[in-house]
A and B are shown apart, each in its own frame.
Chain A
Amino acid sequence: SQTIHQWPATLVQPVGSPLSLECTVEGTSNPNLYWYRQAAGRGLQLLFYSVGIGQISSEVPQNLSASRPQDRQFILSSKKLLLSDSGFYLCAWSVGGLAGGQTQYFGPGTRLLVL
């Protein structure tokens, strides 16, 4: 069966420090991968998605970037964190290689606090 991992679970970082959040998927090949930010009462904001290695699409211009160095690895990064980057970050995957419209499967999330 497929599993999705995110780490760390919680992170406290000073303003201006770099960020690296990692997401890995097991049990499937060539998944579509997604990064979301979840804010209370505001739903899920899609940040980035990827349909293949090295293919990254950005939905919201901001202080963050994403990379997909391997088929089942998706990394969210920042060179210098802002206070506004605080939030709950979710990674998700869906079945790749098909037409769109597929179910998303979410990881446990990373809670980031920037001080």
Chain B
Amino acid sequence: AQSVSQHNHHVILSEAASLELGCNYSYGGTVNLFWYVQYPGQHLQLLLKYFSGDPLVKGIKGFEAEFIKSKFSFNLRKPSVQWSDTAEYFCAVISGGSYIPTFGRGTSLIVHP
């Protein structure tokens, strides 16, 4: 069965710091990869996704993620975080033609102004 690991459970940064959140998955076949974000008091929503093509994916609010197949990774990055990026971030993987995503445990990001 697919498993997803998010290595950082709690991250605290100051504004303008760079961010990288790790995500690794276990299944080695075809995968669709997602990062979702949950801002305080808001719905869980899609931040970015990778289905195929360019492994460097750009999402909303200046976020990007890179799919590295050989490392089974899909790390999320942002060069300069803002206070408004404070949220919980979830990595998710769907294997092959499945309907069922596997989510990581989430990373809570707090950005101090």
Residues of chain A having any CB pair with chain B under 8 Å: 32, 41-44, 46, 49, 51, 59, 90, 92, 94, 99-109
Contacts and interface: CB of A to CB of B under 8 A. Distances in A.
Contacts of A49: 99-100
B97 interface: yes
Contact of A103 (B34, B43, B100, B106): B34
Contact of A41 (B34, B101, B106): B106
Contacts of B46: 103-105
Interface size class of B (residues with CB under 8 A): 20 to 34
B44 A90 contact: yes
Contacts of B9: 41
Contacts of B96: 100-101
Give chain A's interface secondary structure class. Answer: loop
Given A41-B106, A44-B90, A107 B43 contact: yes
Given A43-B90, A43-B104, A43-B105, A51 B43 contact: no
Contacts of A44: 90, 103
A41 B43 CA distance: 17
A71 B43 CA distance: 22
Given A43-B90, A43-B103, A100 B98 contact: yes
A105 to B, nearest CB: 8
Contacts of A92: 44
B43 to A, nearest CB: 5
